[in-house]
Chain A
């Protein structure tokens, strides 16, 4: 069974500072990896995804993530954050259940707060 661990529940940073949100997963099979963002009082928005190929994935709003198979990690990074990046970020893993059926499992979320 797969699981997703987001190592930090809250990450406060100052505007224009770099940020890294950490995510580790456990799975016995190949997986797809995702980061979703939830802005205050809104639904989920896909930030980026890793399916295969290059381990460095670029997403929207200047975010990127690196897949590290040996460390089973998929950390999210941004070199310079803005106030508008304040949101909750969820790491998620999709594991094959058999055939074309997949299960999407979420981490508990990391609240990123960008301060002026």
Chain B
């Protein structure tokens, strides 16, 4: 099994629908992140969590919310999806014992909003 698992891998949804992207990890890391990838823009940070009770907004959090259900699970929600949220979404974890370089990424969720 992968260290960081994202579900679903692909999703098509309609404008206005609520959708949840899920991320689970077996690394035992406290730190988890959600990034969004758009062509020509690289990866941008949506939300991050340093532990279950510590959740913070990233640079592009508008239109998104998150839930840290447990150390191993970090979900990203789009309350009312819009077409410009069509993107590839990555979840990641990091190991604080490795300073700033112990990141592990999931395989991504490709979301299309029509």
Contacts and interface: CB of A to CB of B under 8 A. Distances in A.
Contacts of A106: 35, 42-44
Given A43-B90, A43-B107, A43-B108, A108 B42 contact: yes
A59 interface: no
A104 B99 CA distance: 11
A101 B95 CA distance: 10
Contacts of B101: 32, 34, 49, 51, 94
Interface residues of A, number: 26
A90 interface: yes
B100 A104 contact: yes
B24 interface: no
B50 to A, nearest CB: 6
Contacts, number: 57
A31 B101 CA distance: 10
| Main SS at interface, chain A | strand
Contacts of A94: 99-101
Interface residues of B, number: 23
A60 to B, nearest CB: 15
Contacts of B97: 100
B103 interface: yes
Interface string B2-23: 0000000000000000000000
Contact of B42 (A32, A43, A107): A107
Nearest to B95: A100
B108 A104 contact: no
B34 interface: no
A101 B50 contact: yes
A63 B96 CA distance: 27
A104 B107 CA distance: 18
Contacts of A31: 100
Interface of A: 4, 6, 9, 31-32, 34, 42-44, 46, 49, 51, 90, 94-96, 100-109
9 closest A-B pairs by CB? A94-B100, A102-B100, A100-B96, A43-B107, A108-B42, A106-B43, A106-B42, A44-B105, A32-B100
